[in-house]
């Protein structure tokens, strides 16, 4: 019986699909047959759950192990790099699993690897990393499995060794070889680096995958001659660009060349190049690569348009299911950027957790899941539809809760009438020794979402809802503007209260009307969500709100505009229902109580590996912040804790979705922390972009708007076409003058009229290469 047949025997609902089979995944509650099964080229079985379950989780649910997916004859396993090269979500999930560790410390690296082999079988290969003195500090261990490569890191921890990634900043591979090299080559992966060394090239790479280039110490390459040989795919080029950018920022910078090796297959690398030319002598092959490097121009960073910073798509892949599936489906259905759905969703999930949980990063530092998010864009950029789609289940529950409260309030009125009548009778009966009738308690309105912007209106709502609430407004400028209206134009009263509510701190509100006049609200918690146009946001966030830190607390997204296209795509009912079930379970979380019976948050602790990731992030973030000033320094100070807040939200979203890999709701693991760090990394880049946009002069903004309009029209235009398409230019001469300003600013160049054109020659303006600041990479 083959490995695939062994697996299918335990999946009675499996049906043929394409070149394999599909079945309901046994590792989660599956209603849509999201598990794919196929036979690998080597005779093993390949399983993939489209909902995100790992192969290990699927096997465990079926009473099997990963070894059962192997072919009967292990010698048939391919050793070629290409046969196991995988990209995308599957690889990302394996990288996340690599970060997990039970915290066990071994006396030697050999013992740590032996423990891994006991669990995963004999390793396929391993590579050793050394520090500058030549001492080993880490290993990268690899297994070749039917579903692709599986990588596990081992690192030195004090006097022992641990199954965990190396501490940051991480050393480069073969560090001691780099000291006296005239030229250093950089590749993606240790196997390719070894292939370079086999033909006499000095080569290195960064540890722990292509996404971790920024976590390595590249300082040994200061001022050096460096040649990057990228893998032949988009991910390889992205890694090359990331490394080139890092090397270009060294002091002094390295001289960098990026050389794409000829004849590589899709996904191929230097290892494949060497295999293709195995008949060529090593020295000849090395010289051929050196010649290509000599001919290549020095690398220069691409000049982005507009704000001068590259736009990075939202990292949807780090969101847990079903949030990830909802964001993908909703953004496709609305034709909007995924961040317009993802950011509101994270804020709403944080509000659902509310005051029931806090993450303890150290004894005196506990983090709430409170986020403030603003989706920034001009009119017509689908801000409001995305906003409403995310809030739809919450608004439905809110409507039902208010209807129930209206019914209870009506019944309370009748109870009060009976009470008043009984109280009057009791007062008249002077001889009675009975106590007075008990006054009925007024029903409390259960609130999920509010639009009130003053703390005077919010205080009684928060007293009745100690979990906290979500403030949701289509136009967020009204919320910011309310600070000035209700504080004598100085913005001090409500603004101070809001700063406290961002951290779920106690507030005291003095009301002008109502009884009692003074309200004490413990742990006042409000998440904030809304949309706003860039110009309005710039005016609303005046100097006072920037100096107070209120602006720095806003998570911002302002993706480049793109033309809308009609689509029949929609969010299916099952996806919406799964997300609604996650919200329902989060709203079902209960707080703990103190000695006096008052609600208080349940404290969630960090797993050892999650703590290690947090400390590394904290230190790297602090290093970034030390060189910042003004608005960016303020934003960085708040984004520090945001990483932990996002990790807490991801953690309980996984819990609410019954993620089988989650070991405990009360212990935040490495996977959730890694996701939080990835998300805040995106938020940091977007903060830089948006602050750059808000800081533009009117002239710069007009140039950027014009360049984006030309890009949407295909990237080139004549003065006449511009004058006809943009009515602000009354004549073709005015349009030509505007295009000349773009040329002067380095945004493009004039193209001569094509040969043979009849009539008066007409030159055409063409934009320079479109930057990643306005185009999806």
DSSP, collapsed to helix, strand or coil, labels residue 48 as strand
pTM over 0.85: no
3-state secondary structure 633-685: HHHHHHHHHHHHHHHHHHHHHHHHCCCCCCCCCCEECHHHHHHHHHHHHHHHH
Please return the burial class of 588, using the count of CB atoms within 10 Å of its CB with bins 0-12, 13-18 and 19+: exposed
For the stretch 256-271, pLDDT in tens is: 999 999 989 988 999 9
pLDDT score recorded for residue 81: 30
| Neighbour order of strands in the sheet with 554-557 | 449-450, 469-475, 526-532, 372-376, 554-557
- In whole angstroms, give the CA distance from residue 458 to residue 476: 17
- In whole angstroms, give the CA distance from residue 551 to residue 483: 13
Half-sphere exposure of residue 684: CA atoms within 13 angstroms, side-chain side: 22
Q: Tell me which residue of 565, 575, 576, 571 sits closest to 335, measured CA to CA.
A: 565
Q: Are 100 and 609 in contact (CB under 8 A)?
A: yes
Burial per residue of 707-745, b for 16 or more beta-carbon CB atoms within 10 angstroms, e otherwise = bbebbeeeeebbbebbbeebeebeebeebbebbeebeee
DSSP for residue 192: H
pLDDT of 569 > 50? The answer is yes
- Residue 325 Cα distances to 353, 380, 555, 568, angstroms: 21, 24, 22, 17
Distance between start and end Cα atoms, the chain:
45
pLDDT of 71 > 60? The answer is no
3-state secondary structure 81-125: CHHHCCCCHHHHHHHHHHCCCCCCEECCHHHHHHHHHHHHCCCCE
- In whole angstroms, give the CA distance from residue 486 to residue 721: 50
How many Cβ atoms sit within 10 Å of the Cβ of residue 294? 11
Q: Are 460 and 519 in contact (CB under 8 A)?
A: yes
Contacts of 19 (CB under 8 A, 6+ apart): 38
For the stretch 628-661, pLDDT in tens is: 877 888 889 999 999 999 999 999 999 999 999 9
CA 746, 748, 750, 754 torsion-angle sign: positive
* Residue of 50 and 471 predicted with greater confidence: 471
For the stretch 422-456, pLDDT in tens is: 999 999 988 888 999 999 999 999 999 998 778 88
Q: Which two tokens stand for residue 357?
A: 């949980």
The pLDDT of 668-673, averaged and rounded, is 96
The pLDDT of 541-557, averaged and rounded, is 77
- In whole angstroms, give the CA distance from residue 76 to residue 44: 9
DSSP, collapsed to helix, strand or coil, labels residue 742 as helix
pLDDT score recorded for residue 441: 92
**Cα–Cα–Cα angle for 337, 340, 344, rounded to 5 degrees:** 155
Please return the burial class of 288, using the count of CB atoms within 10 Å of its CB with bins 0-12, 13-18 and 19+: middle
- Res. 523 pLDDT band, cuts 50 70 90: very high
The pLDDT of 102-126, averaged and rounded, is 85
- In whole angstroms, give the CA distance from residue 532 to residue 132: 51
CA 572, 573, 578, 582 torsion-angle sign: positive
DSSP strand E in 496-655: where? 507-510, 518-521, 526-532, 554-557, 592-593, 599-600, 602-606
Q: Mean pLDDT for the chain?
A: 83
pLDDT of 101 > 80? The answer is no
Instruction: For strands 136-145 and 125-130, give the pairing.
Output: antiparallel
Q: Which of 71-85, 93-107, 507-521 has the highest mean pLDDT?
A: 507-521
pLDDT of 135 > 60? The answer is yes
- In whole angstroms, give the CA distance from residue 353 to residue 590: 9
- In whole angstroms, give the CA distance from residue 220 to residue 79: 32
How many Cβ atoms sit within 10 Å of the Cβ of residue 335? 15
How many Cβ atoms sit within 10 Å of the Cβ of residue 519? 19
The pLDDT of 727-731, averaged and rounded, is 83
Q: Report the range of poorest mean pLDDT among 28-32, 385-389, 486-490.
A: 486-490
- Res. 484 pLDDT band, cuts 50 70 90: low
DSSP for residue 751: E
Task: Compute the radius of gyration of the chain from its Cα atoms.
Answer: 30
Sequence length of the chain is 777
pLDDT of 6 > 60? The answer is yes
**Cα–Cα–Cα angle for 404, 406, 410, rounded to 5 degrees:** 120
pLDDT of 47 > 80? The answer is no
For the stretch 144-167, pLDDT in tens is: 888 778 888 999 887 889 988 888
pLDDT score recorded for residue 696: 61
* Residue of 69 and 750 predicted with greater confidence: 750
Stretch (H or E) spanning 194 = helix 190-198
pLDDT score recorded for residue 147: 75
Q: Tell me which residue of 698, 697, 683 sits closest to 374, measured CA to CA.
A: 683
- Helix (H) and strand (E) counts for the chain? 23, 29
């Amino acid at each position: 019986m083959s490995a695939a047949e062994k697996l299918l025997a335990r999946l009675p609902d499996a049906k043929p699909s394409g070149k394999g089979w599909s079945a309901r995944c046994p590792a989660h509650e599956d209603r849509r047959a999201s598990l794919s099964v196929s036979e690998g080229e080597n005779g093993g079985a390949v399983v993939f759950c489209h909902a995100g379950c790992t192969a290990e989780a699927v096997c465990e649910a079926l009473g099997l192990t990963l070894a059962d997916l192997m072919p009967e004859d292990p010698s048939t396993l391919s050793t070629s790099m290409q046969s196991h090269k995988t990209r995308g979500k599957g690889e990302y999930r394996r990288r996340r699993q690599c970060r997990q560790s039970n915290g066990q410390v071994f006396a030697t690296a050999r013992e740590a690897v032996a423990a891994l082999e006991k669990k995963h079988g004999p390793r396929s290969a391993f590579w050793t990393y050394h520090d500058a003195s030549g001492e080993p500090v880490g290993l990268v261990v690899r297994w070749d499995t039917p579903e692709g490569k599986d990588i596990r890191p081992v690192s030195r921890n004090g006097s022992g060794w641990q199954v965990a990634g190396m501490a940051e900043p991480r050393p480069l591979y073969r560090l001691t070889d780099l000291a006296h090299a005239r030229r250093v080559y950089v590749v993606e992966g240790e196997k390719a680096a070894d292939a370079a060394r086999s033909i006499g090239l000095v080569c290195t790479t960064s540890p722990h995958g292509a996404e971790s280039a920024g976590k390595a110490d590249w300082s040994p390459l200061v001022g050096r001659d460096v040649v990057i040989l990228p893998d032949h795919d988009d991910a390889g080029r992205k890694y090359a660009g990331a490394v080139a950018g890092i090397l270009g920022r060294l002091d002094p910078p390295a001289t960098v060349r990026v050389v794409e090796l000829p004849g590589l297959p899709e996904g191929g690398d230097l290892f494949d190049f060497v295999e293709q030319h195995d008949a060529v002598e090593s020295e000849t092959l090395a010289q051929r690569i050196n010649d290509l490097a000599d001919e290549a121009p020095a690398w220069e960073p691409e000049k982005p348009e507009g704000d001068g910073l590259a736009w990075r798509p939202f990292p949807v892949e780090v969101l847990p299911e079903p949030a990830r599936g909802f964001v993908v489906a909703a953004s496709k259905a609305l034709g909007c950027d995924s961040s317009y759905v993802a950011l509101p969703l994270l804020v709403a999930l944080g509000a659902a957790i509310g005051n029931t949980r806090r993450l303890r990063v150290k004894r005196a530092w506990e983090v709430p899941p409170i986020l403030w998010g603003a989706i920034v864009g001009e009119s017509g950029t689908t801000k409001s539809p995305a906003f409403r789609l995310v809030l739809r289940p919450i608004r439905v529950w809110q409507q039902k809760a208010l209807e129930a409260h209206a019914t209870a309030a009506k019944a309370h009125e009748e109870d009060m009438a009976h009470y008043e009548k009984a109280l009057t009778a009791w007062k008249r009966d002077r001889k009675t020794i009975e106590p007075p009738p008990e006054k009925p308690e007024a029903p409390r309105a259960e609130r999920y979402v509010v639009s009130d912007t003053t703390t005077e209106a919010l205080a009684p709502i928060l007293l009745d809802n100690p979990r906290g609430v979500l403030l949701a407004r289509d136009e967020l400028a009204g919320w910011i503007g309310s600070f000035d209206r209700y504080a004598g134009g100085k913005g001090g009263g409500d603004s101070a209260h809001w700063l406290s509510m961002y951290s779920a701190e106690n507030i005291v509100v003095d009301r002008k009307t109502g009884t009692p006049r003074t309200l004490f609200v413990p742990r006042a918690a409000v998440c904030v969500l809304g949309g706003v146009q860039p110009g309005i946001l710039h005016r609303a966030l005046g100097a006072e709100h920037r100096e107070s830190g209120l602006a720095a607390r806003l998570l911002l997204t302002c993706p480049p505009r793109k033309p809308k296209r009609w689509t029949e795509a929609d969010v299916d009912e099952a996806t919406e229902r799964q997300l609604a079930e996650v919200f329902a379970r989060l709203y079902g979380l209960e707080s703990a109580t103190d000695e006096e019976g008052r609600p208080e948050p349940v404290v969630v602790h960090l797993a050892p590996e999650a703590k290690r990731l947090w400390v590394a992030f904290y230190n790297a973030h602090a290093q970034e912040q030390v060189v910042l000033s003004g608005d960016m320094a303020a934003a960085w100070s708040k984004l520090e804790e945001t990483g932990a807040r996002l990790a807490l939200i991801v953690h309980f979203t996984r819990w609410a979705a019954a993620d089988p890999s989650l070991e405990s709701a009360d212990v935040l693991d490495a996977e959730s922390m890694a996701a939080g760090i990835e998300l805040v990394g995106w938020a940091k880049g977007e903060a830089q972009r948006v602050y750059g946009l808000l800081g533009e002069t009117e002239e710069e903004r007009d140039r950027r708007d014009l360049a984006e309009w030309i890009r949407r029209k295909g990237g080139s235009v004549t003065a006449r076409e511009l004058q006809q398409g943009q009515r602000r230019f009354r004549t073709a001469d005015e349009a030509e003058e505007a295009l000349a300003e773009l040329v002067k600013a380095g945004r493009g160049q004039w193209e001569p009229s094509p040969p043979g054109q009849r009539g008066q020659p007409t030159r055409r303006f063409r934009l320079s290469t479109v930057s990643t600041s306005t185009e999806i990479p």
